Amino acid sequence: VAKAKSDLAWAKAHLDLLRAGTRPEQIARGQAELALAQADLQRCEAMSRKYLLRAPHDGIVTVRYVNVGEVVSPGQVLLRVDNTQAMEVRAQVQESQLLGIGRGSEALVLVDAYPDNALKAVVRQILPRIDPEQGTVTVLLEFTSKPRVTLMDGMAADIAIFAREKEETGSSDSP
């Protein structure tokens, strides 16, 4: 892309020189060179967009699964990008303990590396699949505020999710 931009700048400058006092056929040739340089730049920019990888979020590349020059297939995982802005906690909750837990349930996360800093979180989602071997469900938690400690992917933590009490459905009209 940089070379194509350089060629385009040269073609424009060359055309300006030709317009300053040259024959019509030289001007036509300069215009043709300019059009070719513009087309080449557009082609290079289109190719650059086609092969540019964009992450769905800001983050840091923590694992590279392929090297430059390797042939890859559609859908193949190339990199792992850890999100540094919106951390989430994946908790494995026993199926028998799901009663009263739902989206918005409050939780406390105690990361082993920071035992004196309990972090407040809420349930964002309960994934709709039970691990048949463990009898657990994955519950996704998000922090209610940005943690003041450095968290990293894979850190061990203890989690307490507070079950909501079942709302009473009886009538409040009493004699």
Bridge partners (DSSP) listed for residue 119:
109
Residue 172: the pLDDT is: 41
Residue 109: the pLDDT is: 94
Residue 22: the pLDDT is: 64
Using CA atoms, how far apart are residues 51 and 131, in angstroms rounded to an integer? Answer: 37
Q: What share of the chain is helix, strand, coil (3-state, %, to 5)?
A: 30, 30, 45
- This prediction has a pTM of 0.56
Residue 4: the pLDDT is: 87
Residue 171 pLDDT more than 60? no
